[in-house]
Amino acid sequence: MTWSIPFSPRFAPIIAFISVFLSVFLFQLIDCWIIQVSQTDGGVSLTQEGHQEVAQVAQELQEYCTSEPVKSPLIYGEWDVVYCSRPTSPGGGYRSALGRLFFRTKEMIQAVEAPDTVRNKVSFSAFGFLEGEVSLKGKLKALDGEWIQVIFEPPELKVGALDFRYGGQSEVKLQITYVDEKIRLGKGSKGSLTKAHVSEVCSASTQRQKQEVELK
């Protein structure tokens, strides 16, 4: 047996107000969080307490995530990797404590192209004068409505005039915990790795907001 409650027009203004309030709250939460994590060198400069605060907000945002984010067209596009709970994850050894002494990270980008291509790129300056980048190309496979698997080809390294591949294939599994037009959040299969990606479309806006915060 199915029960239904008739909708009363009297409640329409209240429902509309609640909907607008929640939308504004969510957008402000996301904007503040983007600014917070965008000033941490991908999470490197955050304290343990700071990482816990970021994880708490990520958990809150997960409550607002669509039921099957992997099927959403919003996962496609170019994204800036602005935060990772394990800062050495994007870029590997180049992002380690020793690696950062010689390689200054300029940007970390992930492009997800329909139907199943993922391209990761970490651009850096080596020894202060050599421009370089490490890139990965992978094939995406949806495991269910939330989880994806990406199998990457061997990484390609470009430094100055040098261009070569090294190592072997790699594989990652990631749970999409939140996605909208601005950000995409993911958690690794071990449950401890959280990544935050900001869409290229809002990167310039984020930079302006960061400058405004620094001026206050």
All structural domains of the chain with their residue ranges: 11-215
Q: φ and ψ at 115, to 5 degrees?
A: -90, -20
Looking at CATH, the fold of the domain delimited by 11-215 is given as: Lipocalin (2.40.128)
Give 205's contacts (C-beta < 8 A, 6+ positions apart).
none
Number of C-alpha atoms within 13 angstroms, CB side, residue 202?
A: 20
Give the pLDDT confidence score for residue 211 in this predicted structure: 32
Query: How confident is the model at residue 142, as a pLDDT?
Result: 96
pLDDT at position 111 is 93
Tell which wins on pLDDT, 35 or 154: 154
Query: Which of the pair, 113 or 22, is modelled with greater confidence?
Result: 113
At residue 182, the pLDDT reads 86
Please state the rounded mean pLDDT for residues 63-92.
Answer: 83
Higher pLDDT, 1 or 213: 1
Q: Does the pLDDT value for residue 102 go beyond 50? A: yes
pLDDT of residue 207: 40
pLDDT surpasses 50 at 126: yes
Compute the distance between CA of residue 200 and CA of residue 205 in angstroms, rounded to an integer.
10
pTM: 0.74
Q: Which residue has the tokens 């090294």?
A: 166
| Residue 101: predicted pLDDT | 62
Mean pLDDT highest for which of 96-105, 119-128, 207-216? 119-128
Three-state SS for 171? strand
Burial code (b: 16+ CB inside 10 Å, e: under 16) for 43-67 equals: beebeeeebeebeebbeebeeebee
pLDDT band, residue 204 (cuts 50/70/90): very low
Q: Residue 170 and residue 69: Cα distance in Å, rounded?
A: 24
Helix H or strand E segment including 17 = helix 12-38
C-alpha atoms less than 13 angstroms from C-alpha of 14 in its C-beta half-sphere: 5
DSSP state of 8: -
| pLDDT confidence of residue 165 | 94
Answer for the pair 213, 35: CB distance below 8 angstroms, yes or no: yes
